[in-house]
Chains A and B, each alone.
Chain A
Amino acid sequence: MDGFTYINIFDTKGIEYLVIIGFLLLLIPFWRSLNKPLTVRAKVMSTLGVLTSNILKVPQGLFYSRNHTWTFLEKSGVASVGLDDLLLHITGQVHVNNLKVPGDKVRKGERIAEIAQNGGHLLIKSPISGEIQGVNKSLREGVGALNDDPYGGGWIYKIKPEKWTEETNSYFLANEATLWFKTELLRFKDFIAMSLNKYSPETAMVILQEGGELADNPLSGMPAEVWHDFQEHFLDKVS
Chain B
Amino acid sequence: MNNQNAVLAKDNDGMPVLKFLAEAIKPKGTFFTPFNMISLPIMVLGFVIIVIRFIKGIGAVTNLTQEVPWGLWIGFDVVTGVAFAGGAYVITFMVYILNMKKYHSIVRVTVLNGFLAYVFYAGALLLDLGRPWNVINPIIGNSFGVSSILFLVAWHFLLYMIAMLIEFSPTIAEWIGNQRARKILSGMTLAAVIFGITLSTLHQSGLGALYLMASEKIHPLWYSEFIPILFFVSSIFAGLSMVIFEGSISQKVFDSQISEKNHRSHDGILHGLSKICTVTLFIYFFLQVLTFVHGKHWDLLNSPMGYWYLTEMIGFVLLPMGLFFYSYRKQNIFLIKLAALITMIGVIINRLNVTVVGFRWDAAVHYFPSWMEIVVTLTVLFVEIWIFRWIVTRLPVLRDSPSWVKKQSSKL
Instruction: Write the residues of chain A forming the contact surface with B, with a CB cutoff of 8 angstroms.
Output: 10, 13, 15-16, 19-20, 23, 27, 30, 33-34, 36, 38-40, 197, 201-202, 204-206, 209
- The proximity string for B residues 258-285 relative to A, scoring 1 for CB distances below 8 Å and 0 otherwise, is 0000001001100100010011001000
- What A residues does B268 contact at CB under 8 A? 205, 209
Most chain A CB atoms below 10 A, which of B289, B293, B296: B293
- What A residues does B271 contact at CB under 8 A? 205
A38-B331, A205-B331, A206-B331 given as contacts; is B279 within 8 A of A16 (CB)?
no
> Do residues A201 and B286 form an inter-chain contact, with CB atoms below 8 A?
no
- What B residues does A16 contact at CB under 8 A? 290, 293-294
Tell whether B359 is near chain A: CB-to-CB under 8 Å: no
**Do most interface residues of chain A lie in helix, strand or loop, or is the interface mixed?**
helix
Known: A20-B290, A34-B325, A205-B267. 18 other contacts (CB 8 A): A15-B293, A16-B290, A19-B286, A19-B289, A19-B293, A34-B278, A34-B328, A34-B329, A36-B329, A38-B329, A38-B331, A39-B329, A39-B330, A201-B267, A202-B267, A202-B331, A202-B333, A209-B268
**Do most interface residues of chain B lie in helix, strand or loop, or is the interface mixed?**
helix
- What A residues does B278 contact at CB under 8 A? 34
Instruction: Write the residues of chain B forming the contact surface with A, with a CB cutoff of 8 angstroms.
Output: 264, 267-268, 271, 275, 278-279, 282, 286, 289-290, 293-294, 296, 325, 328-331, 333
Contact count A vs B, C-beta below 8 Å: 42
- What A residues does B328 contact at CB under 8 A? 34
- What A residues does B331 contact at CB under 8 A? 38, 40, 202, 205-206
Q: List 14 A-B contacts (CB under 8 A).
A: A16-B290, A20-B290, A23-B289, A33-B329, A34-B275, A34-B279, A39-B330, A40-B331, A201-B267, A202-B267, A202-B333, A205-B271, A205-B331, A209-B268
How many Å lie between the Cα of A202 and that of B275 in the bound state?
Answer: 17
> Do residues B294 and A204 form an inter-chain contact, with CB atoms below 8 A?
no
How many Å lie between the Cα of A36 and that of B325 in the bound state?
Answer: 12
- What A residues does B264 contact at CB under 8 A? 197, 201, 204
- What B residues does A206 contact at CB under 8 A? 331
CB nearest neighbor in A for B275: A34
- What A residues does B275 contact at CB under 8 A? 34
- What B residues does A209 contact at CB under 8 A? 268
CB nearest neighbor in A for B333: A202
How many Å lie between the Cα of A206 and that of B293 in the bound state?
Answer: 43
How many Å lie between the Cα of A218 and that of B275 in the bound state?
Answer: 27
How many Å lie between the Cα of A33 and that of B278 in the bound state?
Answer: 12
A38-B329, A39-B330, A205-B331 given as contacts; is B282 within 8 A of A30 (CB)?
yes
How many Å lie between the Cα of A206 and that of B333 in the bound state?
Answer: 12
How many Å lie between the Cα of A33 and that of B282 in the bound state?
Answer: 13
The 3 A-B residue pairs with the shortest CB-CB distance in the complex, in nearest-first order: A23-B286, A15-B293, A19-B290
How many Å lie between the Cα of A40 and that of B330 in the bound state?
Answer: 8
How many Å lie between the Cα of A160 and that of B282 in the bound state?
Answer: 70
Distance in Å from the Cβ of A8 to the closest Cβ of chain B?
Answer: 11
CB nearest neighbor in B for A15: B293
How many Å lie between the Cα of A150 and that of B289 in the bound state?
Answer: 62
How many Å lie between the Cα of A205 and that of B271 in the bound state?
Answer: 10
CB nearest neighbor in B for A31: B279
- What B residues does A27 contact at CB under 8 A? 282
CB nearest neighbor in A for B266: A201
CB nearest neighbor in B for A209: B268
How many Å lie between the Cα of A15 and that of B268 in the bound state?
Answer: 41
- What B residues does A20 contact at CB under 8 A? 290
How many Å lie between the Cα of A30 and that of B281 in the bound state?
Answer: 12
CB nearest neighbor in A for B265: A205
Distance in Å from the Cβ of A132 to the closest Cβ of chain B?
Answer: 46
Most chain A CB atoms below 10 A, which of B278, B296, B328: B296
